[in-house]
Amino acid sequence: MEQRELIEQGRTALGIEFGSTRIKGVLIDYDGNVLASGGYEWENTLVDGVWTYALEDAVTGMRACYASLRTEVEKKYGITPKTFGAIGLSAMMHGYIALDREDRQLARFQTWRNTNTGKAADALTEAFNFNIPLRWSAAHLYQRMLDKEAHVEHISSVFTLAAYMHYLLTGRKVIGVGDAAGMFPIDSKTLDYDEGMVETFDRMAAKAGYPGIRLREVFPAVLTAGEEAGTLTEAGAALLDDSGNLCAGIPLCPPEGDAGTGMTATNSVAPRTGNLSAGTSNFAMVVLERPLQKLHREIDMVTTPSGFPVAMSHANNGTSDLNAWVGLFAEFCTLMGIEADRNTLFSKLYTHSMSGDPDGGGLLSYGYYSGENITFINEGRPLFVRTPDSHFNLANFFKVNLYTSLGAVKLGMDILLKDEGVKLDRIMGHGGLFKTPLVMQKVLAAAVNTPVTVMATASEGGAWGIALLAAYLADGKKDGKLEEYLDHRVFAGLTGDAVEPDPEEVKGFEEFTKRYLAGLEIEKAAIKAVNW
């Protein structure tokens, strides 16, 4: 009855996250307890060499996700939600959505997966003396300028997916500081785009032939956690809820990227904390006490939703190849007349991998469906490699595929922890790879030689994280800063099991990493040779 009353009175927060394979919605109370959830499956496509989603599919998916959540509320509580204390939207960071003055889409939505911005990223990095990754929105925009694409002269707005969907619901052209940090460098003192770099970019745009495009005019304005980012319009309410029951006027928190929601969902928003999100892409983030000593092209500099500087080791490729291999085993089970659901297969195969050799038995795998910025490879070819004397068995096969899902991320983390001497008190794991108990915790602990904790909420992921940011706007600010709200109210009663790194597994992962680095020449050769 208490939960029903909270929903009826609108003392709840709704979070919707557009993940790479699933749009997920979570409804929570202000203490972070999940009341209902919903989802919608979708997938990116490769069109003319560009990884993309149709924006109409994003709208369809959002409506379907909300409808499934609304249906669960109706079945569970016997009521239809009409209002919430706040709503939050988040999505895959980075990318490029360009609109004209009439809000018409000018070019295909380019996702984080695209690595076709090398010249622009190099030029901006040199001009700023600050690493600009290939997938950042600024790199996409400047590359379009360098390529003289016809649509550029008509650009009025450039969005990330989260900021675009927020714009549809509110009419406000704004973005959370964490997501903004995947568009353009952020000054953590002003919590805004770095003004000196903005001026440099505008000069470079003019020199490229586009003096009318000024970055602050086309990019959304930056907001931080706890700031109101507009309210749900009548059109936005109709767009979100096809039943017509949802009321306009609901506040929205700043739209965030999946990095920011991952930090929030793992309570990793204070210095010396870190987290790893394991999914279609894998990324590890460490909140810094001090700036890095050197510029590293392998490391992204972003921020928490409150604006603390964060070093990110971001790998474009994560679980796609793992999922494909499990799918092959599912097909084999069907062929043999064996009933085995995919969740069981994942659990059995991943758990069995722990009986493998510490280094994976001399096997090697790359799940490169697309280019990988950390290893400076601009295309992908999934590969599995072994020698005649490799210890080839099922446990090692899956162990090495789990290892390689973190292979590129580990290279970035080695730069931070070994070369830069960054201090890390704890690292939290979340995302689909952590659903199988202990397995990925042990793998990650071996990769970073640091204890790894996974909480029961880990599988809720970014949708729960953006719901928490919405709850912070609606009711949490009375508890203080975002980290205080999370520490004292949301995570105070939550516990998680920490897994210590096993010295033999740490040594084994280091051996695998040597093999991983040496084998990159195989990946490069495959890109040249495999073009069918």
The CA distance from 451 to 291, in Å, is 24
Specify the pLDDT at position 460. 63
Domains recognised in the chain with CATH numbers: 267-316+423-502 (3.30.420.40), 320-408+504-529 (no CATH)
Tell me if 454 sits within 8 A of 444, measured CB to CB.
no
The CA distance from 515 to 92, in Å, is 31
Helices (H), 181-233: 195-207, 215-218
The CA distance from 188 to 452, in Å, is 28
**How many residues in total does the chain contain?**
532
Phi and psi of 207, rounded to 5°? -65, -30
Specify the pLDDT at position 436. 85
Tell me if 69 sits within 8 A of 34, measured CB to CB.
no
Each residue's pLDDT tens digit, 217-253: 999 999 999 999 999 999 999 999 999 999 999 999 9
Q: Which residues of the chain register pLDDT less than 70?
A: 1, 456-460
141's tokens: 């925009």
**Percent helix, strand and coil across the chain, each rounded to 5?**
45, 20, 40
Displacement of CA 524 from its chain's centroid (Å): 26
Specify the pLDDT at position 459. 58
Specify the pLDDT at position 1. 65
Task: Please give, one letter per residue, the 3-state secondary structure of 243-272.
Answer: CCCCCCCCEECCCEEHHHHHHHHCCCCCCC
pTM to 2 decimals? 0.83
Specify the pLDDT at position 500. 92
